Structure formats: C-alpha cells, structure tokens
Copies of this chain bind each other. A is one copy, B any other.
Amino acid sequence: MSHKLLVVGTVAFDAIETPFGKTDKILGGAATYIGLSAAQFKNVNAGIVSVIGEDFPQEYIELLRTNNIDLSGLETVKGGKTFFWSGRYHNDMNSRDTLDTQLNVLADFQPAVPDHFKDAAIVMLGNLHPAVQLSVIDQVNNPKLIVLDTMNFWMDTTWDLLQEVIAKVDVITINDEEARQLSGEYSLVKAAKKINEMGPKYVVIKKGEHGALLFYNEEMFFAPALPLEEVFDPTGAGDTFAGGFSGYLASTGDISFESMKKAIIHGSNLASFCVEKFGTERMQTLSTNEVTERLKHFKALTQFEINLTK
C-alpha cells in the first residue's frame, strides 16, 4: 500500500540570528522542514510542491532526495532567485523580528501537483499564500485528509481567501495568538469552537514551549513540549511539528481522533529535536533510535496512574 503525503510550502534560504549566534543563508522553508520531519516515517512517500531559483544549491537538492523526498513538484525558475527570509530572535526565544523578506520566485508561483501525487491520501498545506493552497486543493483527487498550516500574516492581508481555504480543510494547525486573532476569542476552548464552525473538524493549537492542544467536537487532547535545557533556534519548529503530525497520519493511514492524539505526540517529539541546532541541521542527522528514545521521555513526562473507581 502506498502512503503518499503531498506537501506544499516554501523551500527557501533563511538567515537566522539567535542569542547563540547567527547563520549565513542556510536551507529553510516550510516544505523543507515538513518534508524532513515526515521523512522520519520510513514507509511514507512525501512529495513537495514548491518553487526555487537557479541559485538554489545542488547540495540541498541532494539532501532532500537522500531523505526520500519526491521533488517532481519542485519547480526551478530559470534566472530566478529563491525565496529568502531573515530574522532575529529575542533573548526569550518566544518572539522574533523579521529583518528581511524577499519573495523572489515565490511572487508568481503557480503550483503544479505532479500526476502521481494527485491521489495522495494526506495533503499538508504548509504556510504559504492562500491562493497557492487553494490551487493545490483544486488539483488533488479527494484526499482522505487535508491539513492546513497558516499564520497571522495571511489573516492580516488575505482574510477572505484564507477563509475559503479554511472552509475546505479537515485540520487546521495554528498558534495560540493566531487562533485568538482568527476567532476573536481569548479562551482557546472558545476559539477552537469558533474555528471548528469555519470548517475544520479538527483544530490543533500550537503553544510553542507550552505544547499543543487538539480539539475535536467536545474532546480535547494535549501534548506538552519537551522541556529542554536550551532552545538553540526555534526556526522551523512549527513546520517540523506539522511534518510529524501529517507524516504519522500518512504512515498509518488512520485519521481517527485516537490516531491524531499519537500524531501530535510525534509532532511534538520531532519538533523538540529541530530547535536543538540552527535551521535543519539537527533534523539532517536524526536517527530512528533517537526519536524512539525521546518518545519514551514523552511517555514518562505525561503518563500517570490514578485509580478513578474509588
């Protein structure tokens, strides 16, 4: 059985400053992080739909290929320059300033889903212009599940189009502030209910170092973030979470609520590695053993026995 995961999102250059140091232009982008994270599930066939310029190094292409990521949907624009983002994190690592954004080839991106990914069971719409996300939804054939990641920028600038996307997806993953902005509700429980009414049956609210909440009807599930000695670089943590979430669902083919609980645990687990080094560095060397070992920490962190019959 094929386990296809279609990923749309940016493939980019990032330049990052944290209190621990700064990088030159390194590999970044939502689709990159999602793909590397989903690649941890060995039976998943992940394909990326994205765009790069001619300046994108062959070495990065090879890196993605080595991780079994299908790049037939990765368009290279002749003479074009790859999307570039640069940001500086504050000392608490919870907030950041964008220093530079150069859309470059992303400005005119028309996504084309390769024929052999149109029947993907799971579609993961990474953070990107809602028009691109809509176009991908229009090109796929009745997937089992569409997962949407988005951000406040699109709420500020393309509200109506974003609402169109939200109405068509099964799962939305956004952070707590974005959930509040989208719903107009401060309480995350109320916010999830309102977002639920906009379309998505499942609402995942990411709270960064405070974990993630999954809402489905009247049910809730919570995955903590693993408390770490040091967060080195938070870039890509949310995308890595989304990659672990959608990758796990693709790997099992089970999109029940019970399966989604495990999916957000896997997402949190993988995200806890991402932040340990700059950019994608940690995800590049991550072994299955390390992932399994840390899952044990997640269990120990949250599992308890209380006899409720007494």
Q: What residues of chain A have their CB less than 8 Å away from a CB belonging to chain B?
A: 91-92, 186-190, 207, 210-211, 213, 219-222, 224, 227-231, 261-262, 265-266, 292, 295-297, 299-306, 308
The reply to whether B230 and A300 contact each other, CB–CB distance below 8 Å, is no
The reply to whether A306 and B262 contact each other, CB–CB distance below 8 Å, is yes
Of B227, B296, B304, the residue contacting A188 (CB under 8 A) is B227
The reply to whether A306 and B302 contact each other, CB–CB distance below 8 Å, is no
The reply to whether A295 and B300 contact each other, CB–CB distance below 8 Å, is no
Closest 4 CB pairs of A and B: A210-B210, A189-B229, A222-B224, A261-B304
Could you say how many copies of this chain the assembly holds?
Answer: 2
Main secondary structure of the interface of A (DSSP, over half): mixed
The reply to whether B224 and A211 contact each other, CB–CB distance below 8 Å, is yes
The reply to whether A222 and B308 contact each other, CB–CB distance below 8 Å, is no
The reply to whether B304 and A229 contact each other, CB–CB distance below 8 Å, is no
Q: List 22 A-B contacts (CB under 8 A).
A: A91-B186, A187-B227, A187-B229, A187-B230, A188-B227, A189-B228, A190-B229, A190-B230, A207-B210, A210-B210, A213-B227, A220-B227, A220-B300, A221-B302, A222-B301, A261-B304, A262-B304, A262-B305, A265-B306, A299-B308, A302-B302, A302-B304
Cβ of A218 to closest chain B Cβ, rounded Å: 10
Q: Measured between alpha carbons, how far is A228 from B192 in the docked complex, in Å?
A: 12
